[in-house]
Amino acid sequence: MVGVTVRTALVTGANRGIGEQIARGLAKHGLHVLVGSRERSSGDNIAASINDQGGSAETVALDVSDRSSIASVASTHPEIDVLVNNAGMLDEGRLLDLSEDTLAMTTAVNGLGPLFLIRAMSPGMAKRGYGRIVNVSSGWGALNNLGPGAYGVTKAYLNAITIKAASELPNSVKVNAMCPGWVRTRMGGPSASRSPEEGADTGVWLATLPDTGPTGGFFRDRQAISWMDG
Ligand code: NDP
């Protein structure tokens, strides 16, 4: 159709949980969705289901802890308009007792991977004059409420990346962080208070903000929350 721009969104860890629901929500908004999945077959199931329901999706093999995997996606898909850094991992215990391997992996998945993706995708967004970056963080990344193990400090790092990237990018590229609440996923467990659809709502909203929308903020339930207290 002449005059209609179809935006492309990459959602990391979109093969299940909150990421899957953000991917489905963005497809309903008419975006072409790249279903980021480190295991291709589970991503293919979600992409096929989105396509069956009239949306537009394809799988992108992406392990966010692997810099060559990020570089590969950046080279095959240079025109990503919306980046949702959703993939995450939760570890347990004391930060000071974690194995070095666990510490390195949690930092890579929750912090460095999102930063490398932002660095890879945002120059194109800035050049084209449109970009939306959503960092799926957590209330456990707020400084007065840090979560267990390396999880809390890596989500605080993701929050800091959000503030810094927003300040370095033009207003046409909006960078925001969000907390989905406590959500019934593999990470959140069966007792959590929210459905994955409810957890995804703020992410879909931030990924489709109008040009007048905020940047450099932290949100839950579409409302600004505090970097200190969550
Ligand atoms: P899940 O455990 O259900 O899903 C995690 C997703 O991240 C999976 O798709 C998983 O892929 C993916 N992932 C993990 N490591 C990598 C990697 N190295 N490369 C690519 N993908 C990876 O968690 P949720 O859906 O609950 O969590 C989504 C986000 O929401 C996370 O960032 C989490 O921290 C955040 N969050 C969740 C809360 C909750 O209550 N559930 C609360 C606050 C924040 P795979 O299937 O291959 O393992």
Dihedral of CA atoms 137, 216, 224, 143 in degrees, nearest 10, equals: 50
Residue 4 has pLDDT above 80, yes or no: no
To the query of whether residue 151 is one of the catalytic residues in this protein, the response is yes
Q: How far is the CA of 170 from the centre of ligand 1 (A)?
A: 29
Residue 115 backbone phi and psi in degrees, to 5: -65, -45
Q: 2: pLDDT confidence band, cut at 50, 70 and 90?
A: low
Which ligand 1 atom minimizes the distance to the CA of 109?
Answer: 18
Residues 158/141, Cβ–Cβ less than 8 Å: yes
pLDDT of residue 160: 98
Overall average pLDDT of the 180-198 stretch: 98
CA 152/CA 167 separation, integer angstroms: 23
pLDDT greater than 60 at residue 1: no
> Average pLDDT for residues 217-221, to the nearest whole number?
98
CA of 90 from ligand 1 middle (Å) equals 8
Q: pLDDT of 94-140, one tens digit each?
A: 999 999 999 999 999 999 999 999 999 999 999 999 999 999 999 99
What's the CA gap between 21 and 199, in Å, rounded?
A: 8
Rounded to two decimals, the pTM is: 0.98
CA of residue 187 to ligand 1 center, whole Å? 7
**Confidence (pLDDT) at 150:** 98
Residue with CA nearest ligand 1 atom 13:
87
Provide the β-strand partners of residue 33: 9, 57
Assign 50 a pLDDT band (cuts: 50, 70, 90): very high
